[in-house]
């Protein structure tokens, strides 16, 4: 059932994002309707008077939205939002939603923290208190959950929209742990269900281990059967087999569904089975003998959920606590991706190519500024200023987006471990993020570059001026009519493992996009649009691609020249040539649709040749990957990431990092809330 | 000069990301070399003995990397990493890097916080202390910075790799503020440069205002000239004209370069000019009369930098503090994107389509589990289990990636305001992020779906079994040979504003990818690869696209059926039809290259028709956008985002949010460090 809720989670998140659209899209209009302009002030009394006469039956369920600058936009809609809401969801779901949301809003325990951040400890305590309060409200009985899947999905989505830590905490204990036991179908496990639903115990689902995630065959925790005592002995052979990433295990779980390899006295192994193992004493919340259990520490998000780890030292459990039928196992937690060079190598090549571009442009700029200070105001100097502006305006978007995608790819390739705050992929991402917007949103900046190119193109069309710029980045346009006539022929020697093939393709692409953008702009203007609207309408599919393609061409050209100059030591030529070709082909492959559309590519082979060349280059660079990283990586002290240290001992470093955190094995300061201050299911139901 | 450093920033970030690759790629190998296996243990004494004989001259500059499991991989490299490092950078740059990194590493002030987070206040204090310490080390004289741009770029990159907050803090004060004054070229401003370089004053660059960013014409701060006193009167007309997002202004800046519209007594306006305005008293760090200055609060990242706001109430400054030449203004800070529906509307459509898919699949799953509990183990039930597994395995990747991209798009569309923690786009992103990896990395999950389809395809090829599944998602494959013969013809009525056109294209696409993936897999296996390697090699360009295309087809088909059923109220048909078509066409447009490559599309018109249809649909949905968000948005209490509130008063809500934070206008608790505990530039230089 987990995956369905995951789908629900995404769907629920998207509306959140959509709500933001409400804020974004109309910004200039809201801005025009300035605060202080009485015509735009919302008068609550007028609103009430106007709302009263319309006694629509659904007004209570779906009350009017607040007045304000959005009213005018709401009035433009082609449909009634109440009607659509009722079409999408039944009245009973809408009622459940309303009940949950208004209950949470009116309960001070669910007040959003005002100013300042919650400490992790406090946030985890709050999540537990809220988990308990959810039981007290008893929004949906277990019976209802099973008979009405949509109600359950609505219930989890509502909790999640409020806080996904809380929803996950509830889901993992009650639904994942609970339903696994329930579906084992044995009466002897019924006691656990009853204890779970009365909050006497708290559950978690312990499959994932430190050094392997989804691969259930690789799970190394063992459960040896001892026929003498009719017990299983649960054991973790070493720290890499520690259960890791388990939600609720960090601070609250008293019982875990532990997945282990079942071994019989004769030595036969019967594969993975699930066992109910007591982790903590519900009275004291201290660990049971033989169990080492702790909290993984801060994550990039969902910090209200206590993800934890546990190692077992020959922990004995009664035979009955083997679940005799576990149903389909869907793994949860971390996953370390198998060897997949293609995923990160292009970003490594991009790091080299963009670093070279950035440095060479920096030198150009410094020369430009030196002349400014010398009060050189020649025509060439002005032209150089425009050219540099065009290059930096597209350079920031290209570099910041490449970094953003590269960091996210690394983060995902590291699985759960990339989500742990101590590994600092979150810091890299968050610190890079403002580059996408400051000094102007990336899309706005790209328009500066396309305007520069379109200006040159128009000038040339009118007066036949030569394409010539101080840094020579646009000189190739002089041959645009020849270039536009070119077609991809494939390389002569089979395979296109050299950057000259993508360079030729990029020249065609820029000419094509320039011609197309010019025509589109012309057409928009002739249809009566003003300059601003015309340019905006050309942006999405024309000018934006034009600016990026032009910059990529320039980066590829500079890196090609750099890696093919005579001064490159012979022993470095092969590796640098491959980096140059990989970056060029990989960037180009993002434009394959345009290359086909414009007729530069035709037939299946062209596209396949590029893809095969990328894979071949990745495979050729595979053995050089670590050394290429060594060359440009900052020292360990600067990187400060256990999984990224130069010694490569990632699991050992990660394990040390986890254990070095403060209070990692300590009982939560709010343990008494879990064990002593008991509360009654449904005790607040009357207040709904 | 700012943009060049930005390029440098990205390039510097990518290596960080690259370093992580070191951790990721080799995971299985490191895992194989288990801790505890003596053959893989690194013996430091052996390492020392081995390193001694090789007395290479660059060993001091580029010392050996630590031993460990990566040694074997390093030995495989085709080149010497030392040689490449020396080719990429000159020895003097490498020496500067080494000096900076080892100095920081040996200075306890730069120790990374061990366990637990720094409070924002503490982090900002540390950043200031480190900023001061950088002056004491005097790594690079101002003269050096100007004469050797690469050294300056290296210097900023090194600081940035350590902490971009610190690099930005330094850059904004010394380089942006300093060089703007320097390039004004007047001797009368030399005093500011000298004070800046001796740390008597701290600068910031105050262009951006709350409700407009890069658009310099829209700046509303005024500077009225008073000839009687020979002063300018700096004034903020209202809160929307407050200087906003200014780095260093929050807590530390004593002086700001304020951009304002210059107005003469006669009423003439001379446009935007820059003025040096004193913000705080350097002795007490309290604001100057008429200046309201405060800290913006927590951001998603770079919290060591104090971004702030300021409003001026008729602040008088001497005539001389108008900069007579400001050079090119490059705006910094926030930017609110103009009206660009195409950017977010497809995500709104995706929220509707994926929400419907998720709910409908949840119902299917609940039925499946109900039968499991009834111990129904029929062949159909088993087949249903496989089909649901295939759908959920691709559903999580599609939904989590769509949410991730949508949230990031919203965050960027909101400019700087999206980067402010209180607006909670960071929370949405961080809470969604684990969905990309838990229960298995998205790429691994997609393989489950493609394996399901390839299995069916092989079965059919061998025995001619029918394509038939309980949820009917694969039944269309029965007609695969017909479908593969189809070509895009364009819709009959001109325009393809209906989901039936993309539905037909998707059917072709899935058949094509299935056939191609099958052939590729076959080919890989025949070349002698084992099953695991063969599948991995087919993943990138074949199976991954196959799984996503199959799921998108299923989502599109279900949403098409849902929005076109007879029970849809007539007044909702148009808007739902548009949402369905937009989601379908937008998703399909990501596969345009494949549609061309396989010959389904040919000629320029096919691709353009899809793009035009997407733009047309966005334009048709424009007026419905706010109402569509209203229908699915959670209440304000749940969303808890000032810029996303239902009342649409985004600037007013944002301003309130900023002012409601604790200690927003208060002097930093560590103010004496700035004003009293003075320190001497270069005082620690000897220790380098």
d(CA B226, CA B314): 11
Residues of A in contact with B156 (CB under 8 A): none
Instruction: List the single residue in B11, B158, B240 with the smallest CB-CB distance to A34.
Output: B240
pLDDT at A494: 52
- Interchain CB distance below 8 Å, B6 and A396: yes
pLDDT at B325: 60
Count of CB pairs separated by less than 8 Å, A with B: 736
- Interchain CB distance below 8 Å, B358 and A11: yes
Strand B269-278 and strand B255-263: pairing? antiparallel
Q: What angle do CA A563, A565, A567 make, to 5 degrees?
A: 105
Percent share of chain A, pLDDT over 70: 86
- Interchain CB distance below 8 Å, A9 and B435: yes
Nearest CA in chain A to B435: A6
Nearest CA in chain B to A353: B11
From the candidates B2, B11, B41, which should be mutated to test the interface with A, based on the most A CB atoms within 10 A?
B11
Q: Which of A314-328, A491-505, B523-537 has the highest mean pLDDT?
A: B523-537
Question: Region A454-461: what's the mean pLDDT?
Answer: 88
Contact predicate B395/B356, CB 8 Å? no
Residues of A in contact with B441 (CB under 8 A): 214, 335, 337, 412-413, 415
pLDDT at A538: 84
Confidence of residue A12 (pLDDT cuts 50, 70, 90): very low
Residue A267 reports pLDDT greater than 70: yes
- Interchain CB distance below 8 Å, A28 and B339: yes
pLDDT at A507: 97
- Mapping DSSP onto H, E and C, the string for A189-250 reads HHHHHHHHHCCCCCEEEECCECCECCCHHHCCCEEEEECCCCEEEEECCCHHHCEEEEECCC
Residue A537 reports pLDDT greater than 70: yes
Question: Region A339-355: what's the mean pLDDT?
Answer: 88
pLDDT at A4: 34
Nearest to A298 by CA among A661, A659, A667, A643: A661
From the candidates B438, B515, B607, B643, which should be mutated to test the interface with A, based on the most A CB atoms within 10 A?
B438
The two structure tokens encoding residue B411: 């965050």
- Interchain CB distance below 8 Å, A78 and B624: yes
* Alpha carbon of A679: minimum distance to chain B alpha carbons (Å): 25
Q: Which of A168-177, A586-595, B17-26, B112-121 has the highest mean pLDDT?
A: A586-595
CA B218 to chain centre: 27
The two structure tokens encoding residue A412: 């995902």
The two structure tokens encoding residue A138: 């008893």
From the candidates A23, A26, A68, A159, which should be mutated to test the interface with B, based on the most B CB atoms within 10 A?
A23
Alpha-helical runs (H) found in A374-479: 379-413, 425-432, 442-463
CA–CA distances in Å: residue A202 to residues A131, A235, A251, B274: 11, 22, 10, 62
- Interchain CB distance below 8 Å, B336 and A650: no
The two structure tokens encoding residue B464: 């001619």
pLDDT at A434: 82
First-to-last alpha carbon distance for chain A, in angstroms, is: 28
pLDDT at B214: 57
CB atoms near residue B218 (< 10 Å): 14
User: Any residues with CB less than 8 A from the CB of B336 and at least 6 apart, and which?
Assistant: A24, A27, A28, A31, B211, B212, B213, B414, B415, B417
Contact predicate B625/A81, CB 8 Å? no
Nearest to B616 by CA among B405, B346, B407: B346
Per the document, the length of chain A is 688
Nearest to B586 by CA among A541, A553, A502, A175: A541
- Interchain CB distance below 8 Å, B358 and A16: no
Contact predicate B392/A7, CB 8 Å? yes
- Interchain CB distance below 8 Å, A648 and B22: yes
pLDDT at B146: 66
Segments of chain B with pLDDT less than 70:
1-58, 114-116, 142, 146, 185, 213-215, 324-340, 439, 491-496, 686-688
- Interchain CB distance below 8 Å, A410 and B438: no
Nearest to A332 by CA among B440, B463, B38: B440
Residues of A in contact with B610 (CB under 8 A): none
Q: What mean pLDDT is reported for chain A?
A: 84
The predicted-structure confidence for B366-418, as pLDDT tens digits, reads as follows 889 888 878 888 999 999 999 999 999 999 999 999 999 999 999 888 888 88
d(CA A30, CA A34): 7
- Interchain CB distance below 8 Å, B7 and A77: no
The predicted-structure confidence for A178-228, as pLDDT tens digits, reads as follows 888 887 767 788 899 899 988 999 999 999 999 876 567 789 999 999 999
DSSP-derived 3-state class of residue A275:
strand
* Alpha carbon of B229: minimum distance to chain A alpha carbons (Å): 32
- Interchain CB distance below 8 Å, B428 and A17: yes
* Alpha carbon of B281: minimum distance to chain A alpha carbons (Å): 27
Contact predicate B439/A332, CB 8 Å? yes
Lowest mean pLDDT among A33-42, A512-521, B253-262: A33-42
d(CA A246, CA A228): 32
- Interchain CB distance below 8 Å, A402 and B10: yes
Nearest to B353 by CA among B632, B639, B544, B636: B632
The two structure tokens encoding residue B416: 């700087």
Nearest to B68 by CA among B100, B23, B9: B23
Label residues B107-145 b or e (16+ Cβ within 10 Å = b).
eeebeeeeeeeeebbebbbbbbbbbbbbbbbbbbebeeb
User: Any residues with CB less than 8 A from the CB of B555 and at least 6 apart, and which?
Assistant: B353, B354, B357, B398, B583, B587
Nearest to A436 by CA among B523, B393, B415, B638: B415
pLDDT at B52: 34
> Residue B262 phi/psi, 5° resolution?
-85, 120
Supply the pTM of this predicted model: 0.84
- Mapping DSSP onto H, E and C, the string for B258-316 reads EEEEEECCCCCEEEEEEEEEECECCCCCCECCCEEEEECCCECCCCCCCEEEEEECCEE
Instruction: Identify the residue whose tokens are 């403002």.
Output: A434
d(CA A76, CA B121): 46
Residues of B in contact with A181 (CB under 8 A): none
- Interchain CB distance below 8 Å, B27 and A337: yes
pLDDT at A46: 34
Instruction: List the single residue in A15, A596, A635 with the smallest CB-CB distance to B101.
Output: A635
Q: What angle do CA A79, A85, A91 make, to 5 degrees?
A: 140
Residues of A in contact with B78 (CB under 8 A): 574-575, 623-624
pLDDT at A288: 96
Strand A315-318 and strand A291-295: pairing? unpaired
- Interchain CB distance below 8 Å, B212 and A338: no
pLDDT at B33: 28
d(CA B528, CA B327): 65
- Mapping DSSP onto H, E and C, the string for B103-138 reads HHHHCHHHCCCCCCCCCHHHHHHHHHHHHHHHHHHC
- Interchain CB distance below 8 Å, B628 and A18: yes
Q: Which strand ranges, in their side-by-side order, compose the sheet holding A243-247?
A: A243-247, A307-312, A291-295
pLDDT at A584: 97
Instruction: Identify the residue whose tokens are 């503090």.
Output: B321
Strand A307-312 and strand A243-247: pairing? antiparallel
pLDDT at A469: 94
**Burial class of residue B227, CB neighbours in 10 A (0-12, 13-18, 19+):** exposed
Residues of B in contact with A84 (CB under 8 A): 572, 575-576, 627-628, 631
CA–CA distances in Å: residue B499 to residues A323, B156, B308, B555, B596: 48, 51, 48, 11, 20
Residues of B in contact with A409 (CB under 8 A): 17
């Amino acid at each position: 059932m987990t995956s369905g809720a995951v789908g629900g989670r995404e769907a629920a998140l998207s509306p959140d994002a959509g709500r933001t659209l409400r804020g974004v899209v109309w910004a200039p209009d809201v801005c025009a309707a300035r605060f202080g302009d009485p015509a735009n002030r919302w008068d609550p009394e007028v609103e009430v008077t106007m709302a009263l006469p319309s006694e629509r039956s659904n007004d209570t369920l779906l009350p009017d939205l607040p007045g304000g600058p959005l009213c005018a936009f709401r009035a433009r809609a082609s449909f009634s939002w109440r009607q659509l809401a009722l079409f999408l969801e039944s009245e009973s779901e809408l009622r459940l939603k309303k009940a949950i949301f208004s209950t949470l809003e009116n309960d001070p325990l669910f007040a959003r923290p005002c100013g300042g951040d919650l400490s992790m400890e406090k946030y985890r305590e709050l999540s537990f208190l809220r988990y308990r309060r959810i039981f007290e409200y008893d929004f949906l009985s277990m019976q209802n959950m099973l008979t009405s899947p949509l109600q359950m999905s609505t219930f989890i989505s509502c909790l999640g929209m409020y806080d996904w830590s809380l929803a996950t905490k509830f889901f993992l204990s009650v639904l994942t742990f609970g339903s696994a036991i329930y579906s084992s179908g044995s009466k002897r496990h019924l006691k656990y269900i009853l204890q779970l639903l009365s909050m006497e115990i708290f559950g978690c689902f312990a499959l994932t281990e430190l050094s392997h995630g989804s691969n259930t065959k690789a799970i190394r925790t063992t459960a040896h059967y001892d026929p003498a005592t009719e017990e299983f002995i649960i054991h973790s052979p070493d720290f890499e087999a520690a259960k890791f990433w388990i939600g609720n295990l960090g601070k609250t779980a008293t019982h875990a569904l532990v997945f282990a390899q079942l071994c019989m006295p004769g030595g036969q192994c019967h594969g993975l089975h699930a066992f109910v193992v007591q982790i903590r004493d519900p009275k004291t919340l201290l660990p049971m003998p033989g169990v080492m259990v702790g909290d993984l520490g801060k994550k990039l998000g969902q910090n209200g959920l206590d993800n934890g780890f546990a190692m077992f030292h020959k922990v004995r459990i009664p035979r009955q606590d083997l679940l005799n039928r576990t149903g389909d196992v869907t793994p949860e937690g971390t996953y370390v991706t198998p060897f997949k060079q293609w995923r990160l190598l292009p970003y490594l090549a991009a790091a080299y190519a963009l670093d070279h571009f950035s440095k060479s442009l920096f030198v150009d700029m410094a020369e430009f500024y030196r002349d400014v200070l010398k009060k050189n105001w020649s025509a060439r100097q002005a032209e150089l200023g425009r050219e540099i502006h065009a290059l930096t305006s597209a350079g920031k978007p290209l570099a910041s987006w490449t970094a953003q995608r590269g960091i996210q790819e690394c983060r995902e390739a590291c699985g759960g471990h990339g989500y742990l705050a101590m590994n600092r992929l979150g810091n890299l991402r968050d610190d890079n993020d403002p580059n996408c917007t400051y000094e102007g949103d990336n899309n706005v900046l790209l328009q500066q570059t396309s305007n520069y190119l379109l200006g040159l193109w128009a000038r040339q069309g009118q007066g036949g001026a030569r394409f010539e710029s101080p840094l020579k980045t646009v000189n190739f346009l002089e041959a645009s009519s020849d270039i536009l006539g070119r077609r991809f022929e494939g390389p002569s020697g089979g395979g296109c493992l050299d950057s000259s093939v993508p360079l030729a393709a990029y020249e065609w692409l820029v000419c094509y996009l320039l011609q197309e953008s010019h025509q589109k702009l012309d057409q928009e203007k002739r249809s009566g649009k003003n300059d601003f609207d015309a340019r905006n309408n050309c942006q999405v599919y024309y000018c934006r691609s034009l600016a990026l393609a032009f910059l990529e061409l320039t980066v590829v050209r500079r890196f090609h020249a750099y890696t093919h100059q005579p001064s490159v030591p012979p022993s470095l030529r092969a590796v640098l040539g491959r980096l140059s070709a990989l970056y060029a082909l990989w960037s180009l492959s993002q434009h394959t649709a345009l290359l086909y559309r414009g007729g530069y590519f035709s037939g299946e082979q062209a596209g396949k040749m590029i893809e095969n060349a990328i894979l071949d280059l990745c495979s050729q660079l595979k053995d050089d990957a670590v050394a290429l990283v060594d060359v440009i990586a900052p020292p360990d002290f600067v990187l400060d990431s256990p999984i990224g240290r130069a010694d490569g001992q990632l699991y050992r470093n990660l394990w040390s990092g986890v254990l070095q955190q403060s209070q990692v094995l300590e009982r939560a300061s709010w343990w008494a809330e879990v064990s002593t201050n008991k509360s009654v299911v449904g005790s607040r139901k009357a207040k709904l």
